[in-house]
Structure 1
Amino acid sequence: MVNITVTRKSQSFVVLSEPASAAETLELSAIDRVPGLRHAVRSLHVFRNRDSTTRHDDAAARPAEVIRKALSRALVDYRAFAGRFIGSVVAGEACVECSDDGAWFVEAVADCSLEDVNGLDYPLIVSEEELLPVPEEGVDPTSIPIMMQVTEFACGGFVVGLVAVHTLADGLGAAQFINTISEFARGMGKPTIAPIWARALIPNPPKLPPGPPPSFQSFEFQHFTIDVTSDLIVHIKAEYFQATGQYCSTFDVAVAKVWQARAKAIKYNLESEVHVCFFANTRHLLTQVLPKDRGFYGNCFYPVTVTAIAGDVITAGLIDVIRMIRDGKARLPLEFSKWAAGDVKVDPYQLAFEHNVLFVSDWTRLGFFEVDYGWGAPNHIIPFTYADYMAVAVLGAPPSPKKGTRIMTQCVEEKHLMDFKDQMKTFF
């Protein structure tokens, strides 16, 4: 076992590189203000590339120095990330005060190479807690919109630990901001995509009476990761097309497989309901109101929930379960428009964290895999979106140069884990 030491050399707030205009308070959208979004999304981004792909002013510049300076410059365009949340989340009155207090930034070093820790592939040899930034003692991490830690390894590679509060941006928006940092790190004079606040353009239907408070029972779900080859995914897509005459996506295949494998492993009562919930981007449904130049980085998604009788999910073929997922996705435009018009009786954003609900998050198309601070794109991204009261499946990619889809789960208890693994390894 390798004895690894990670040392945090410095930590402080990074402020805007240029003086800001007058103080202002920014109103959040109805989706931003969803109480359940006031949590921190944590992730590790591993850069094993040793050679710089960009000519920095200083050829010997360290990644932490470069990224810190780029972050300061990016905050000029994304001032909200240097601000603080004020107001009541529960009452739906939260907003962002552009206080310019800054983003929390930590510089750290590890006394080993990334090869020594297997490129941070699972199982992790270095705890994520050592590689993710933590604020000063007594500070609520959900009060700071963005925190970063850059840990440099002896091999020249580095890891960027990100902690972002979901209230300010969804996955696409957070990736847009991080890509802007990387563009400044590579010496660009302005971001490729200019940020747009425009929260007032997001639908703001009348508030519904609050439902019962959600349950946060701990289920002690266990972690399991599996890599699925591209050839296998392509084969299943072809099978689906042959059976239905329609196309399906990698997302559809992966979600259907996890949902079915979980139901089989847990052996739900065949007459009970099981649900799968995923968060669909809705920017394409707001093209009439959102600016055409992209750039909107707020929360712009809708929770799509697919419900079925457990017996149907367990006994159906995988093709039929994929069809259930696609039918749910097809309802998105109608369901979102009804919510926007206030034509719903139950708030779809008020989620139920029950044992029979599987939540799915897809990290493959957000834009994080395209980030390049000047040393190449990340070789590996590890999201930590897990909470012990949620059954979760996260779609990502295996560490390069491997190809395919990585499915990271935390959705079954120890007593069901072996059955779940066996089900996940059998796609037919």
Structure 2
Amino acid sequence: MPQSETSLTFVVRRHVPELIAPAVSTPRELKPLSDIDDKEGMRHQVSSIHMYERDPKMGHINPATIIRDALAKVLVFYYPFAGRLKEGPTRKLMVDCTGEGVLFIEAEADVTLKQFGEALHPPFPCLEELLYDVPGSSGIIDSPLLLIQVTRLLCGGFIIASRFNHTMCDGEGFLQFFTALGEMAQGEFIPSTFPLWQRELLSARNPPRVTFTHHEYEKPKNTKGNVLTMHDMDTKSFFFGSTELSAIRGFVPENLKNISTFEMIAATIWRYRTIALQPDPEAEMRFMFPVNARTKFNPALPVGYYGNCFVLACAISTAKDLSHKPLCYALELVMKAKALVSEEYVRSMIDLMDLRGRPMVNLDHAYMMSGVSKSKFDDIDFGWGKASYRGIAKEGLDFLPGVFNYYIPFKNNKGESEIMVPISLPSAAMDIFVKDLNDILMSNNDKKTLKKHKLLVPAGCSSKLLTSML
């Protein structure tokens, strides 16, 4: 199930980077970000990549020319992206809508799309060449808020790689922007979804009031032992297709059958990762994952809102309980953490940011996973049809090695849908993790394996039942 990286190398010839400004004059104003947007943990860049095959009907049209022109047009509607971030009192972020523009790079590479392999997924070879880090462009303050590189391939296909400042939008917001970019590339004059700023909708209440315990910002009760060291780290990508998912679902009790695929994979990895790391039994282990809060509000956020609108759900357990109780214990913890997210939970978190000066997420004994499977990047079309691959460009976040990874959907070489989860662990722990995970995925639910991994539990598994079983 784990897979190694490709050794493909190639040369990319880049044109001089340029700033693309809105096609017409746009308002010069200061636009404050929301109290979700300017959290300390949002102040970083996020990369994505889209890979397109040659389309005979497009002839010799240069995709870079089409996308460059479309970018200028879409920035008329999304003009804050053409500005620069400033910090106000108490480090409050706001966009100075200067109209300076976003970075754009046209390039050519001596490689074909086929050489990347039949199953396209991160890590991508030579990513630093496909998404060039223009010197001085990767800062948060007074830097371009978006960078797009269009690289034409020998086969007639092309790659669009992009990097955006996370304070400006989340995955849903960037999907909205990129969809509009595709519409403009195909000749539309206005986007199908009109963008709305209205970041004040997600600002702290007056007076602020914290009504929930937000464990992700608190120090764990017990942090015995050093769970994760950066020494001798090993990274492997794990693939979950229909066979693997069916094997895991065989361990899910009837009352949890409505669990999502993300929750099921995440809880399984959290449990076996903990077992592999062998932390102090009383250490408080935490699993954090983003939950889209757009559907939690009443009245709902207006259609077109493209700012950040998610919170971190947090499941908590001692290492002993997580490792020794049945798998459905971890499943239930993850499901309950997600179910806790409501409008009041989101408001409480926003107020916490205001009262405590944007605290960072506490990463002691933490593991984080972000799922991107529900995005509709598949539908983005610049005139060359749907992308062969679309989505996250990297396996995780560079500043959170071993702690954070993505849950990445892709098509295998048979055209079947799978989920890839890259994991980084110390080598010794990785050996244990691979053995245990393969053991349950290859078990065919036989009782010997179920008993060994404490997966053989009565139907109707619940927290109350789990307590009584010990």
TM-score class, shorter-chain normalisation, is 0.7 to 0.9
Q: Does 1:233 align with 2:245?
A: yes
Partner of 1:244: 255
Q: Does 1:31 align with 2:36?
A: yes
Q: 1:270 aligns with which of 274, 281, 292?
A: 281
| TM-score, normalised with respect to structure 2 | 0.79
Task: Judge conservation of contact 2:40–2:358 (CA < 8 Å) in 1.
Answer: no
Partner of 1:398: 410
What CA distance in whole angstroms lies between the structure 2 residues aligned with 1:331 and 1:347?
Answer: 24
User: What number of residue pairs does the alignment pair up?
Assistant: 412
Q: 3-state SS of the aligned residue for 2:338? A: helix
Partner of 2:55: 51
Q: How does 1:312-323 map to 2 (within 5 A)?
A: 312-323=321-332
Change (3 A) 1:349 1:423: farther
Q: Does 1:350 align with 2:328?
A: no
1:304-349: CA deviations, max 9, x gaps?
1111111222123333321111011111115324335669987896
What CA distance in whole angstroms lies between the structure 2 residues aligned with 1:284 and 1:125?
Answer: 34
Task: Judge conservation of contact 1:224–1:409 (CA < 8 Å) in 2.
Answer: yes
Change (3 A) 1:123 1:383: closer
Structure 1 position 416, deviation (Å): 1.8
Partner of 2:313: 304
Structure 1 position 40, deviation (Å): 0.4
What CA distance in whole angstroms lies between the structure 1 residues aligned with 2:50 and 2:17?
Answer: 19
Q: 1:324 aligns with which of 327, 333, 354?
A: 333
Q: Does 1:147 align with 2:150?
A: no
Change (3 A) 1:343 1:219: closer
Task: Judge conservation of contact 1:225–1:406 (CA < 8 Å) in 2.
Answer: no
Deviating more after overlay: 306-315 vs 100-109 = 306-315
Partner of 1:408: 421
Q: 1:40 aligns with which of 17, 37, 45?
A: 45
What CA distance in whole angstroms lies between the structure 1 residues aligned with 2:137 and 2:358?
Answer: 31
What CA distance in whole angstroms lies between the structure 2 residues aligned with 1:109 and 1:255?
Answer: 38
What CA distance in whole angstroms lies between the structure 2 residues aligned with 1:344 and 1:87?
Answer: 15
Task: Judge conservation of contact 2:267–2:334 (CA < 8 Å) in 1.
Answer: yes
CA RMSD of aligned residues (A): 3.0
Structure 1 position 302, deviation (Å): 1.0
What CA distance in whole angstroms lies between the structure 1 residues aligned with 2:367 and 2:357?
Answer: 18
Q: 3-state SS of the aligned residue for 2:332? A: helix
Structure 2 segments unaligned to the other structure (5+ residues): 1-6, 211-216, 220-227, 444-470
Q: How does 1:154-233 map to 2 (within 5 A)?
A: 154-205=154-205, 219=230, 221-233=233-245
Change (3 A) 1:261 1:212: closer
Structure 1 segments unaligned to the other structure (5+ residues): none
Structure 1 position 414, deviation (Å): 2.6
Structure 1 position 352, deviation (Å): 1.3
One-letter code aligned to 1:397: P
Change (3 A) 1:110 1:218: farther
Deviating more after overlay: 172-181 vs 413-422 = 413-422
Partner of 2:386: 377
One-letter code aligned to 1:303: L
Task: Judge conservation of contact 2:9–2:125 (CA < 8 Å) in 1.
Answer: no
Q: 3-state SS of the aligned residue for 1:405? A: strand
Task: Judge conservation of contact 2:411–2:418 (CA < 8 Å) in 1.
Answer: no
Change (3 A) 1:116 1:332: same
Change (3 A) 1:421 1:43: farther
What CA distance in whole angstroms lies between the structure 2 residues aligned with 1:372 and 1:345?
Answer: 43
One-letter code aligned to 1:350: M
1:173-219: CA deviations, max 9, x gaps?
0111111101111222321111110101114146799x999xxx973
Q: Which has the larger radius of gyration?
A: 2
Change (3 A) 1:248 1:227: same
1:56-84: CA deviations, max 9, x gaps?
6xx42121111111111110110011110
Q: 3-state SS of the aligned residue for 2:367? A: strand
What CA distance in whole angstroms lies between the structure 2 residues aligned with 1:155 and 1:95?
Answer: 43
Q: 3-state SS of the aligned residue for 1:175? A: helix
Partner of 2:299: 288
Structure 1 position 46, deviation (Å): 1.9
What CA distance in whole angstroms lies between the structure 2 residues aligned with 1:237 and 1:349?
Answer: 37
What CA distance in whole angstroms lies between the structure 2 residues aligned with 1:345 and 1:10?
Answer: 45
Structure 1 position 120, deviation (Å): 8.0
Q: 3-state SS of the aligned residue for 1:374? A: coil
> Identity of paired residues, percent?
25
Q: 3-state SS of the aligned residue for 2:398? A: coil
Task: Judge conservation of contact 1:176–1:367 (CA < 8 Å) in 2.
Answer: no
1:326-381: CA deviations, max 9, x gaps?
01111111532433566998789630123x21111111123323222121222223
Partner of 1:336: 346
Task: Judge conservation of contact 1:12–1:105 (CA < 8 Å) in 2.
Answer: yes
Change (3 A) 1:153 1:77: same
Q: Does 1:81 align with 2:81?
A: yes
Q: Does 1:130 align with 2:139?
A: no
What CA distance in whole angstroms lies between the structure 1 residues aligned with 2:355 and 2:24?
Answer: 47
One-letter code aligned to 1:365: K
One-letter code aligned to 2:42: L
One-letter code aligned to 2:276: A
Q: Does 1:17 align with 2:54?
A: no
One-letter code aligned to 2:308: N
Structure 1 position 154, deviation (Å): 0.5
One-letter code aligned to 1:18: V
| TM-score, normalised with respect to structure 1 | 0.87
Q: 3-state SS of the aligned residue for 2:182? A: helix
